[in-house]
Chain A
Amino acid sequence: MKLKIENLSFSYNCIPVLDNVNLETSPASITALIGPNAAGKTTLLKCIAGILKPKGRVLLNGRAINNLKIEKISSYIGYLPQEGFSSAALRVFEAVLLGRVHSLSWRISDDNFALVSQVLEGLGIDDLASRYIGELSGGQQQMVSIAQALIRRPEVLLLDEPTNSLDLQHQLEVIDVIREVTRKRGITTLIAMHDLNLAARYADEFVVMNRGKVYISGTSESVMTSEMVRSVYGVNAAVYMDDEGVPQVTPKSSVRRKKGGDCYA
Chain B
Amino acid sequence: MKMKVREVYEKIRRRKYLLLVFVAVACVSTLVVDISTGPAQLSVLKVFSTIFLPHKSDASTQVIIWVIRLPVSLMAIVVGASLSAAGAEMQTILDNPLASPYTLGIAAGAGFGAALALVLGVGLIPHAGTIFVPLNAFVFSFLTCILIFFLSKMKGFTMETMILTGIALLFLFNSLLALLQYLASEEELQAVMFWLFGSLMKTTWEKLGIAAFVLLVTVPILLKDAWKLTVLRLGDEKAKSLGINVERLRLKIFVLVSILAASAVCFVGTIGFIGLVGPHIARILVGEDQRFFLPMSALAGALLLSAASIGSKLIIPGAIFPIGIITSFIGVPFFLLLILFKRRNFW
In the complex, what residues of B have CB within 8 A of residue A137's CB? none
Interface: A56 (CB within 8 A): no
In the complex, what residues of B have CB within 8 A of residue A79's CB? 241
In the complex, what residues of B have CB within 8 A of residue A6's CB? none
Whether A117 contacts B245 in the complex (CB less than 8 A), given A88-B234, A98-B230, comes out as: no
In the complex, what residues of A have CB within 8 A of residue B236's CB? 83
A 46-77 contacts with B by CB, 8 A? 49, 51, 69-75
CB pair A91–B241 under 8 Å, yes or no, is no
Interface: A165 (CB within 8 A): no
Q: Which of B234, B244, B288, B345 contacts A70 (CB 8 A)?
A: B244
CB pair A129–B234 under 8 Å, yes or no, is no
Interface: B4 (CB within 8 A): yes
Interface: A229 (CB within 8 A): no
CB pair B4–A74 under 8 Å, yes or no, is no
Closest Cβ neighbor of A118 among chain B residues: B5
Whether A101 contacts B287 in the complex (CB less than 8 A), given A80-B241, A89-B344, A134-B346, comes out as: no
CB pair A113–B241 under 8 Å, yes or no, is no
CB pair B233–A88 under 8 Å, yes or no, is yes
CB pair B227–A89 under 8 Å, yes or no, is no
In the complex, what residues of A have CB within 8 A of residue B9's CB? 93, 108, 113
A 105-147 contacts with B by CB, 8 A? 106, 108, 110, 113, 116-117, 120, 126-127, 129-130, 132, 134-135, 145
Closest Cβ neighbor of A90 among chain B residues: B288
Interface size class of B (residues with CB under 8 A): 35 or more
CB pair A89–B4 under 8 Å, yes or no, is no
CB pair B12–A91 under 8 Å, yes or no, is yes
Q: Which of B227, B243, B347 contacts A75 (CB 8 A)?
A: B243
In the complex, what residues of A have CB within 8 A of residue B346's CB? 87-89, 134
CB pair B231–A87 under 8 Å, yes or no, is no
Whether A87 contacts B347 in the complex (CB less than 8 A), given A73-B243, A75-B243, A117-B4, comes out as: yes
Q: Which of A74, A90, A108 contacts B230 (CB 8 A)?
A: A90
Interface: B188 (CB within 8 A): no
Whether A70 contacts B231 in the complex (CB less than 8 A), given A90-B288, A129-B5, A130-B12, comes out as: no
Q: Which of B2, B95, B243, B284 contacts A101 (CB 8 A)?
A: B243
Interface: A86 (CB within 8 A): yes
Closest Cβ neighbor of B232 among chain A residues: A88
> How does the 8 Å CB contact mask read for B200-234 relative to A, with 1 for contact and 0 for none?
00000000000000000000000000111011011
Instruction: Find the residue from B2, B228, B234 having the highest chain A CB count within 10 A.
Output: B234
A1 to B347, alpha carbons, bound, how many Å? 39
A104 to B8, alpha carbons, bound, how many Å? 18
A-B contact count (CB 8 A): 114
CB pair A83–B235 under 8 Å, yes or no, is yes
CB pair B287–A89 under 8 Å, yes or no, is yes
Interface: A256 (CB within 8 A): no
Whether A81 contacts B291 in the complex (CB less than 8 A), given A98-B230, A101-B228, A108-B9, comes out as: no
CB pair B238–A113 under 8 Å, yes or no, is no
Whether A134 contacts B242 in the complex (CB less than 8 A), given A86-B233, A95-B234, A104-B227, comes out as: no
In the complex, what residues of B have CB within 8 A of residue A74's CB? 241-243
A132 to B283, alpha carbons, bound, how many Å? 13
Interface: B127 (CB within 8 A): no
CB pair A85–B287 under 8 Å, yes or no, is no
CB pair A113–B95 under 8 Å, yes or no, is no
Interface: B240 (CB within 8 A): yes
Interface: B55 (CB within 8 A): no
> How does the 8 Å CB contact mask read for A228-263 relative to B, with 1 for contact and 0 for none?
000000000000000000000000000000000000
A148 to B346, alpha carbons, bound, how many Å? 20
Q: Which of A51, A94, A130, A135 contacts B289 (CB 8 A)?
A: A94
Interface: A99 (CB within 8 A): yes
A74 to B238, alpha carbons, bound, how many Å? 11
Q: How far is the CB of B94 from chain A (nearest CB, A)?
A: 13
CB pair A70–B245 under 8 Å, yes or no, is yes
Interface: B237 (CB within 8 A): yes
Interface: B14 (CB within 8 A): no
Q: How far is the CB of A149 from chain B (nearest CB, A)?
A: 8
Whether A98 contacts B242 in the complex (CB less than 8 A), given A88-B234, A93-B9, comes out as: yes
Whether A101 contacts B244 in the complex (CB less than 8 A), given A87-B345, A90-B289, A132-B344, comes out as: yes
Whether A81 contacts B227 in the complex (CB less than 8 A), given A75-B243, A102-B243, A134-B344, comes out as: no
Q: How far is the CB of B87 from chain A (nearest CB, A)?
A: 16
Q: What 3 A-B pairs come out closest when comparing CB atoms?
A: A74-B243, A81-B237, A88-B233
Told that A79-B241, A83-B235, A101-B230 touch, could you supply 15 new A-B pairs with CB distance under 8 A?
Answer: A70-B244, A83-B236, A85-B235, A87-B346, A88-B346, A89-B287, A89-B344, A90-B234, A98-B231, A102-B243, A106-B226, A108-B9, A117-B4, A117-B5, A126-B5
Could you list 19 A-B pairs, sorted by A, with CB under 8 Å?
Answer: A51-B240, A69-B245, A70-B240, A70-B243, A70-B244, A71-B243, A81-B238, A82-B237, A83-B237, A83-B238, A89-B283, A89-B288, A90-B230, A91-B8, A98-B234, A101-B227, A106-B291, A132-B344, A135-B344
